[in-house]
Structure 1
Amino acid sequence: MAGQDLLHTQPRPMHWLATATALSAVVAAASFVQPPDATATTSRNVQAGRHSSAPDPGKVTFPVTCGPNRSEVVKKASGDLDGDGTTETVAVVRCHSDTGTPPSGVYVLAHPTDPQAAPRIVAALVAPAQQLSVQSLAVKHGVIAAALLGYSDLNVPRCCPDVHKSVKWQWRDGKFIQSELPAAAGTKGA
């Protein structure tokens, strides 16, 4: 048998045509088989699918006055905050500074109604005027949690915040409700 060509090992155009036809039949049959929990796509599902990614805070002009400096997003976290199936972004914004820690603003961003527009600011959870800095930020199960640093009075050096508090915000009755988490020992005046 050495040296003999086996006819069935050399593909011919008819073999390719038969393979392509069989593959097409399998793909077509698979498109009719659906899992038992499959549902039809509605316009709401299409819209929600379009917004499965988080709003980009880099496309937003935040209401932070920085004079000659630029504003910058220093922290962000995303999740479905209001239970509508779309993803929102929480952004911590402050003025850029090479020294010190300027106060922060915390904003919730949602997708715009016009897909060509920038994300919308739908809530300001912390305003820079409150003179707080955000040490940490997280979103989990629709709850926004943050550790905030501040000052008890104007005589406290701006390098050394003496007020530390942990807060959370949760969407209820059409707005974000803030609650303070229990303070850990030694968080004030430490």
Structure 2
Amino acid sequence: MTGWQHFTFDSLPVSPWRNGGGETREIISYPPGKSDFDWRISIATVAQDGPFSAFPGIDRSITLLSGDGVYLQALPDIDHALTVTGEPFSFSGDIALSARLTGGVTTDFNVMTRRTVCAARVVPVRESLYFSLEKGGVIYVISGIWQRQDGTLIRAGEGYYWSEPAEHRRESLTLKPVEQVDGCLLLWASMIAPEHVSVP
């Protein structure tokens, strides 16, 4: 099947933060090679307390993947404990947050979208998932083993990404958990038209 690409956490390029507080592994940035992206999805490793940079005009979603999590603050607008694995939290990138670790090193799934172009829907999935690849997005397995419709197995730390396919190409993907549902969790992030969602 064309239009989507497999990746693993370990295969993603690593970019250390300039402040030494962590690193980012980019999954996809669209359009490719442009610094003023329409949307970008990555995994961040947070190793110490520190600020999150502001991104004017960008909406953000962050989801805990592993570790004890972080407290996100930008009073009076935001005071949020990101401590439950697989629960997305959305906020405006116009706000510069401070992040405080609740324990040790943590990893987070990050989605950024340019507000005037698109928005993101980020959904935790524990049961079977069927979706179209007509818009861009990423799936990423947090835990358990999942199976594609062709029998391929996908494990924790693996996923697929796709950008908007050609207009004539409408592909789909089906995933189902192989283990008990309680032990399987993945994230599905998809791009949608900006008027379909609002970011608090």
Aligning the two structures, in what range does the TM-score lie when normalised by the shorter sequence? Answer: under 0.3
Give the TM-score normalised by the residue count of structure 1.
Answer: 0.25
What is the TM-score normalised by the length of structure 2?
0.25
Bigger Rg over Cα: 1
The structure richer in strand per residue is: 2
* Greater RCO (Cα-Cα under 8 Å, separation 6 or more): 2
